[in-house]
Amino acid sequence: MTAPVFVVEKVPAGPEFVLDGSEGRHAVSVKRLGPGEALVLTDGRGGWAEAVVTAAEGKDRLLVSVTGAFEEAEPAVRITVVQALPKGDRGEVAVETMTETGVDAIVPWQASRCITQWRGDRGAKSLAKWRATARESGKQSRRVRFPEVAEALSTKQVAALLAEADLAVVLHEDRDAPSGALATAQLPAEGSIVLVVGPEGGVSPDELAAFAEAGAHPYRLGPSVLRTSTAGTAAAAVLLARTGRWS
């Protein structure tokens, strides 16, 4: 089994380090790590260090010996998923599984057909939940570069994001989507892919037109229609395999 991951503000260069606070408590009281066991310390931004436990103190303090510090390079092809706001807790489900799959950025989108509305305190709390989910899922999936979760964007702002992408994709439920299947799309060798996942009611004609004007093309995943909370994960898996990041 791979070593568990813990988040630190700054990756230690060594040789000794103290893991305390909430992460130390999780390591000592939940994971129950003891002397000789391996762990990984990461800043969630690509920096990470291998370490070995030397001692545990109390319920929230772990002494470790750092054996090496590293930096994970940015991927050649960066994948951003624009996720329309789902109902209930399906947004956190989408963030969790997309993080585990390997997406690089997640952008909440207030689409016209979204039932859920992010306004005021509710919007701030929902965004905080998405970011916390990405952090915890990044740790669980042993990532050292966690996905960025942006502020919620409007359709106009999403269109601007698509216009800057090397490949802009809108997932479409129509099996006869004019651009065909995502599995056969021509992908860039480097740069950015931005993928839009619509809400339960679908992407509206006006939104499709705005995205098309920005250079986005509608693609289908396959013969079945997925939920908004699972479509982004499935599409990301297709892209990650085809760009070689899963090879």
Mean pLDDT per 10-residue section of the chain, whose length is 247 residues: 91 93 95 96 97 94 96 96 94 97 97 91 94 97 97 97 97 72 94 96 94 95 88 96 92
3-class state of residue 110 by DSSP: coil
Q: What is the pLDDT of residue 223?
A: 82
Please answer whether residues 17 and 52 qualify as being in contact, where contact means their C-beta atoms are separated by less than 8 angstroms: no
- What does pTM read for this prediction? 0.93
Which pLDDT value is given to residue 174? 66
pLDDT at 195: 97
Predicted pLDDT of residue 175:
57
What pLDDT does 247 receive?
84
**pLDDT at 98 (0 to 100):** 98
Alpha-helix residue ranges (DSSP H) falling in the chain: 21-25, 90-101, 120-140, 155-163, 205-213, 228-242
Task: Decide: 47 and 16 in contact? Cβ < 8 Å.
Answer: no
Question: How high is the pLDDT of residue 21?
Answer: 95
**pLDDT number for residue 158:** 98
